[in-house]
Amino acid sequence: MSRLFRRPTESRRRGAAEQAIGALEKVWRQSGRTTSAKSEGGAYSKAVGLGISAVVALIIISLSVWLLRRRASEETTSVTPEPEEGVAANKALMYRVYEEGFSQNNLDVLDELIASDFTDHNPNPGQGPGLEGLKQFISSMHTTLPDLQVNVEDMIAEGDKVVARLRISGTHQGEFIGIAPTGNQVTVTGIDILRIADGKVVEHWGNVDELGMLRQLGVIPE
């Protein structure tokens, strides 16, 4: 995150400008010496020499101002990550949440990936608030579906938001919202929208095909 994001073309432009300033400074000094050395040219020659010196000085000042502005811009850019890098990092974070947190039931890793005051705008039945509530829900799902797998079918990211289309599968071997184990294989789809800030998930909106799950468990007729 700390590396410089400078374009090679800008470096070449800056080098060329510095060389131009150096060359113009030489012309300016030479012009001043020439003007002072010529006495027989009269007032007109002196005026021309002074005019050339003034033009060269203005060019040097303009180039110097341009260089200072370019350097200030580069310093600002050097500490600001490219938008593409932030988006890629957010997607990588969410892949870890689904793979390590949900599928592998690694609850400790969620401390690294999800904010403690995380807000779930569409909590699951019985899910408590914040990160601890999410951990309890994941743990209970692994009791219901010990072989739970959450696979990412599609993922789109823009700005601080990530959208994921999920395929959730497992074998019903534990009680689920009052439904005794059936041994049925279930596969449902879901959509998640997540907001990420400071490298952690802070908000979640989502929908899961709960009707499809109840049908696969035999609770609702096909």
| Residue 128 token pair | 């408590």
Number of domains in the chain: 2
Helix (H, G, I), strand (E, B) or coil at 211: helix
Residue 41: the pLDDT is: 52
Are residues 186 and 172 in contact, defined by beta-carbon separation less than 8 angstroms? yes
- The tally of CA atoms less than 13 A away on the side-chain side of residue 122 is 11
Q: How confident is the model at residue 4 (pLDDT cuts 50, 70, 90)?
A: very low
pLDDT digits (tens, 9 = 90+) for 117-164: 999 999 987 889 999 999 999 999 999 999 999 999 999 999 999 999
Domain C-terminal end among 78, 100, 129: 78
**Domain range spanning residue 138?**
83-216
Does residue 1 carry a pLDDT above 50? Answer: no
Residues 169 and 89 in one domain: yes
Residue 39 within a domain: yes
| Residues 132, 46 share a domain | no
Per-residue confidence at 59, pLDDT binned at 50, 70, 90? confident
Residue 109 banded pLDDT, cuts 50, 70, 90: very high
Task: Give domain status of residue 159, yes or no.
Answer: yes
Residue 222 lies in a domain: no
- DSSP class of 143: H
Torsion angle of C-alpha atoms 112, 117, 123, 127, degrees rounded to 10: 80
CA torsion 84-89-91-97 (nearest 10°) is -170
33-42, 94-103, 125-134, 179-188 — which is least confidently predicted?
33-42
Q: For residue 161, tell me if it sits in a domain.
A: yes
Question: In this structure, is residue 221 part of a structural domain?
Answer: no
Domain boundary among 49, 78, 107: 78
DSSP symbol at 176: B
Beta bridge partners of 189: 167
**Mean per-residue pLDDT of the chain:** 82
Give the tens place of pLDDT for each residue, 19-29: 666 666 665 56
* 115: CB partners within 8 A, 6+ apart: 131, 197, 198, 200, 201, 202
46 with 95, same domain: the answer is: no
Do 149 and 163 have their domain in common? Answer: yes
* Residues 30 and 128 reside in one and the same domain: no
